[in-house]
C-alpha cells in the first residue's frame, strides 16, 4: 500500500503526478476523463459536507447512514470514499472482501472521533462497571474509529447514527438499566431527553479527569453516562444565533443537527439528521425560509438548489468541517491515477478481529433501523 504523503514513494510509482504543475481546471478535466475511463470498476461516494468540486464527481451522495447502507450493495471493485476516515473504515467493513476502499486524503479525520480512543474507553468501562451492579449497554455514534465500534460489539451494544439514534437508544434502554453513550455528548443528551430522560439523570464522563470526574455513587445513580466528546462544527452554533435570526426575521424556521448543544437543539424549531434537514427543506413549500445549523458546504448547496426558498446558515461565522475540507480534487486525481496504474493508494483496511466485532455492532444497528 502506498502512502500519499510519502512523496518519494508516490513519485516512484506515479511519476506523472506533480500536483504543483496542474491548474485547478486541468485537475478537474483529468478527474472527469479518468472517472469515465474507470467507470466499470469504480464508484465514488461523497458525504454531504464535501465541497461542490468534489461532490460533482460522486456517484452516490448521502449522510453517514445512507452511505453505509449503500456501500453494502456496491458491485464495483474500487470505492473512493470522499468523506472522513471513520466513514471509509465503515465502507471497508460492510463491503465484500474483494472491494478496495480508498480515502483520497489519509489526514481527513474527524475531531469528534479523535476525542475517544480504545484505551480510554476500556479504562472507563472498567471504572463504570465496577461502580454499579446494574447492566450498562454501550452505544457508540458511528463517528468513531473501528476499534470503538468493535468495543461495542464485544460488549453487546450497538452503533447509531443521527438518523436512528432514537430507535437505538430505546432498544438499549429496554436491554439494560443504564447507557454509556460515546463519543458525542450532545447527540446522546438531546436524544435521551427526547425519550423522556431528565438532564439530572445524565452525567458526563471526561477521560482527562480521574475516573472521568465521576464518583461510583454518581455512576450508580445516573441513567445515562455521556462521553465528553463533541463536534467542533456543530458546537459552534449558539442560542444567541437563534435569538438574533428570530429577531431579524420571525418567519425564519430554525432547523439544526442534533450534534448541536442542548441549548440550541431545545430552542430550534426543528432538529434532525443531515438527511432529515435535506428532506424537510426539499418538501417545504416555495417561499419557505430556513436558518440551518449544520456544516456550511451543505447549507450553501441547499441554498443554490432551492432558488425559490431562502436558506441561510444559522451562524454568522463559517461553520466548516476542516477535516472534510481536506479532500480536494487533486487528491481524488492521485487516487484515480493510482487505480489506473493498478497501484491503489490510501487503501483503508480494517483488521479481521476489529471487523468481526465492529460488524456485530453495525449489524445490530441495521437490524434496529
Contact positions vs ligand SF4 (CB under 6 A) = 49, 84, 110-112, 143, 231-233, 295, 321, 323-324
Task: Supply the minimum distance, in Å, between the C-beta of residue 231 and ligand SF4.
Answer: 3
SS3 annotation, 163-177: CCHHHHHHHHHHHCC
Task: Supply the minimum distance, in Å, between the C-beta of residue 201 and ligand SF4.
Answer: 25
Cβ proximity to ligand SF4: between 49 and 357 the closer is 49
Q: How many CA atoms lie within 13 A of 172 on its CB side?
A: 34
Task: Supply the minimum distance, in Å, between the C-beta of residue 121 and ligand SF4.
Answer: 18
Cβ proximity to ligand SF4: between 193 and 325 the closer is 325
- The SS3 call for residue 348 is coil
Cβ proximity to ligand SF4: between 10 and 268 the closer is 268
Phi then psi dihedrals of residue 23, to 5 deg: -80, 165
- The SS3 call for residue 224 is strand
- The SS3 call for residue 291 is strand
Cβ proximity to ligand SF4: between 62 and 344 the closer is 62
Task: Supply the minimum distance, in Å, between the C-beta of residue 73 and ligand SF4.
Answer: 24
Candidates 96, 58, 100; CA nearest to 77 is 100
| Distance, CA of 59 to CA of 262 (rounded, Å) | 35
Task: Supply the minimum distance, in Å, between the C-beta of residue 149 and ligand SF4.
Answer: 15
Alpha helices by DSSP H, listed for 83-181, are: 85-94, 118-131, 146-154, 165-175
| Distance, CA of 215 to CA of 221 (rounded, Å) | 10
Task: Supply the minimum distance, in Å, between the C-beta of residue 23 and ligand SF4.
Answer: 29
Identify any residues that bridge with 115 across adjacent strands, giving them in sequence order.
none
Task: Supply the minimum distance, in Å, between the C-beta of residue 319 and ligand SF4.
Answer: 9
Cβ proximity to ligand SF4: between 176 and 272 the closer is 272
Cis peptide before 64 (omega within 30 of 0): no
Task: Supply the minimum distance, in Å, between the C-beta of residue 50 and ligand SF4.
Answer: 11
Cβ proximity to ligand SF4: between 295 and 339 the closer is 295
Cβ proximity to ligand SF4: between 93 and 324 the closer is 324
| Distance, CA of 70 to CA of 286 (rounded, Å) | 31
Cβ proximity to ligand SF4: between 50 and 131 the closer is 50
| Distance, CA of 214 to CA of 267 (rounded, Å) | 29
Phi then psi dihedrals of residue 210, to 5 deg: -60, 130
Count Cβ atoms below 10 Å from residue 46 Cβ, excluding itself: 23
Amino acid at each position: 500500500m502506498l502512502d500519499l504523503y510519502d512523496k518519494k514513494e508516490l513519485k516512484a510509482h506515479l511519476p506523472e503526478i506533480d500536483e504543483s504543475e496542474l491548474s485547478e481546471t486541468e485537475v478537474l478535466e483529468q478527474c472527469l476523463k479518468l472517472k469515465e475511463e474507470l467507470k466499470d470498476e469504480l464508484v465514488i461516494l461523497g458525504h454531504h459536507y464535501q465541497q461542490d468540486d468534489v461532490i460533482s464527481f460522486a456517484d452516490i451522495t448521502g449522510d453517514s447512514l445512507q452511505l453505509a447502507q449503500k456501500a453494502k450493495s456496491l458491485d464495483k471493485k474500487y470505492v473512493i470514499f470522499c468523506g472522513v476516515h471513520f466513514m471509509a473504515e465503515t465502507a471497508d467493513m460492510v463491503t465484500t472482501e474483494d472491494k478496495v476502499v480508498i480515502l483520497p486524503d489519509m489526514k481527513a479525520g474527524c475531531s469528534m472521533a479523535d476525542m475517544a480512543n480504545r484505551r480510554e474507553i476500556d479504562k472507563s468501562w472498567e471504572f463504570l462497571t465496577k461502580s454499579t451492579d446494574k447492566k450498562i449497554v454501550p452505544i457508540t455514534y458511528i463517528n468513531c474509529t473501528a476499534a470503538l465500534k468493535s468495543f461495542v460489539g464485544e460488549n453487546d451494544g450497538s452503533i447509531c447514527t443521527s438518523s436512528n439514534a432514537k430507535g437505538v437508544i430505546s432498544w438499549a434502554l429496554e436491554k439494560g438499566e443504564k447507557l454509556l453513550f460515546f463519543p458525542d455528548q450532545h447527540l446522546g443528551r438531546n436524544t435521551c431527553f427526547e425519550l423522556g430522560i431528565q438532564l439530572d439523570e445524565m452525567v458526563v464522563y471526561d477521560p482527562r479527569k480521574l475516573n472521568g470526574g465521576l464518583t461510583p455513587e454518581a455512576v450508580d445513580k445516573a441513567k445515562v453516562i455521556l462521553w465528553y466528546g463533541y463536534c467542533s462544527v456543530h458546537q459552534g452554533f449558539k442560542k444567541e444565533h437563534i435569538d438574533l435570526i428570530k429577531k431579524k426575521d420571525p418567519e425564519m424556521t430554525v432547523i439544526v443537527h442534533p450534534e448541536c448543544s442542548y441549548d440550541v437543539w431545545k430552542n430550534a424549531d426543528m432538529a434532525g439528521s443531515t438527511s432529515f434537514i435535506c428532506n424537510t427543506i426539499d418538501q417545504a413549500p416555495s417561499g419557505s425560509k430556513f436558518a440551518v445549523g449544520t456544516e456550511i458546504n451543505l447549507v450553501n448547496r441547499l441554498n443554490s438548489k432551492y432558488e425559490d426558498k431562502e436558506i441561510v446558515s444559522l451562524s454568522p461565522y463559517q461553520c466548516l468541517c476542516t477535516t472534510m475540507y481536506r479532500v480536494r480534487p487533486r487528491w481524488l486525481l492521485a487516487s484515480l491515477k493510482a487505480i489506473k496504474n493498478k497501484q491503489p493508494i490510501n487503501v483503508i483496511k480494517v483488521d479481521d478481529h476489529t471487523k468481526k466485532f465492529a460488524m456485530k455492532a453495525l449489524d445490530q444497528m441495521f437490524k434496529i433501523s
